[in-house]
Amino acid sequence: GESVGLHLPTLSVQEGDNSIINCAYSNSASDYFIWYKQESGKGPQFIIDIRSNMDKRQGQRVTVLLNKTVKHLSLQIAATQPGDSAVYFCAERSQGAGGTSYGKLTFGQGTILTVHP
């Protein structure tokens, strides 16, 4: 039979361009968000995180923006390089009962970023 897999969004950019990867999350109670990068044959690697009491956080060449009103998260990569080519996942953490930090992350499907030299 025909196999059906996830159809990941893709983004192709030229080296040196800025990249923006978007993510819609599902739970309005989520209080913490992480972006991971996964290269072929490797495990997800932490890039940057943001708590729900913030709407922007910057790292080295990366910026994460959080819009809680529309439950949207974005990752901006400045001056994208071929080494940035990977699958990028957003993850959200939902609070446990009584407001405790459960620690369980729910991952998005991922976006494939391809950077052309």
CA distance 14 to 2: 34
Q: How far is the CB of 36 from other proteins (least distance, A)?
A: 8
Between 18 and 109, name the residue whose CB sits nearer to other proteins.
109
Residue 95 token pair: 């609070």
Q: Is 99 in the site for other proteins (CB under 8 A)?
A: no
Q: Is 49 in the site for other proteins (CB under 8 A)?
A: yes
* DSSP strand pairing (62-67 vs 10-14): unpaired
Q: Is 93 in the site for other proteins (CB under 8 A)?
A: yes
* DSSP strand pairing (56-58 vs 19-24): unpaired
Q: How far is the CB of 79 from other proteins (least distance, A)?
A: 25
CA distance 23 to 2: 28
Applying CB under 8 A, the residues found at the interface with other proteins are: 3-6, 32, 34, 36, 42-46, 49, 89, 93, 101-110
